[in-house]
Amino acid sequence: MSPTLQRLRALIVKEFGQIRRDRRLVMSLIVPPVLQLTLFGFALSATVSNLRLGVVDESQTPESRELVATLTQSRSFRLGGYYPTADHLGTAISEAKLDAGVVIPYQYARDLQRGRTTTVQFLLNATNANTATIGQAYAEGVLANYNATLRRAGVTASVEDLASGPARRRAEVHLMPAFLYNPGLVDSWFVATGVFGLLLILNSSLISSAAMVRERETGTIEQLLMSPASTGEIIVAKIAPLFVLLCLMMLLAVAVLKAVFRVPFHGSLLFVLFGGVLCILSGISLGTVIATLSRSAQQAQLTAFFINPPLSSLSGALNPVEAMPAWLQPLTVLNPIHHFATIVRGSMLKGTGLATLWPNVLALLIFTLVLVLLSIWRFRKQLS
Which pLDDT score, from 0 to 100, does residue 271 have?
93
Average pLDDT over residues 24-41: 65
Cβ neighbors of 272 (< 8 A, separation 6 or more) are: 254, 343, 344, 347, 348
Average pLDDT over residues 73-91: 87
Tell me how far apart the alpha carbons of residues 269 and 266 are, in angstroms, rounded to a whole number: 9
Instruction: Tell me the pLDDT tens digit for each residue of 250-299.
Output: 998 899 888 888 888 888 899 999 999 999 988 888 888 888 887 777 77
Would you tell me how many other CB atoms lie within 10 Å of the CB of residue 10?
Answer: 14
0.85 exceeded by pTM? no
Cβ neighbors of 157 (< 8 A, separation 6 or more) are: 112, 146, 147, 150, 151, 169, 171, 172, 173
Instruction: Tell me the pLDDT tens digit for each residue of 142-191.
Output: 888 787 777 666 554 443 444 434 444 445 676 777 778 888 777 778 88
Residue 16 scores a pLDDT above 90: no
Position 262, amino acid: R
The pLDDT confidence band at residue 362, using thresholds 50, 70 and 90, is: very high
User: Structural domains in the chain?
Assistant: 3-44+187-383 (no CATH), 51-180 (3.40.1710.10)
Residue 94 scores a pLDDT above 70: yes
Residue 56 scores a pLDDT above 90: yes
On whether the CB atoms of residues 318 and 40 are closer than 8 A, the answer is yes
Q: Are strands 100-104 and 159-160 parallel, antiparallel or unpaired?
A: unpaired
Which pLDDT score, from 0 to 100, does residue 127 have?
78
The pLDDT confidence band at residue 22, using thresholds 50, 70 and 90, is: low
Highest mean pLDDT among 26-40, 71-85, 115-129, 221-235: 71-85
Tell me how far apart the alpha carbons of residues 265 and 252 are, in angstroms, rounded to a whole number: 15
Tell me how far apart the alpha carbons of residues 337 and 345 are, in angstroms, rounded to a whole number: 12
Position 96, amino acid: A
Share of the chain above pLDDT 70, in %: 80
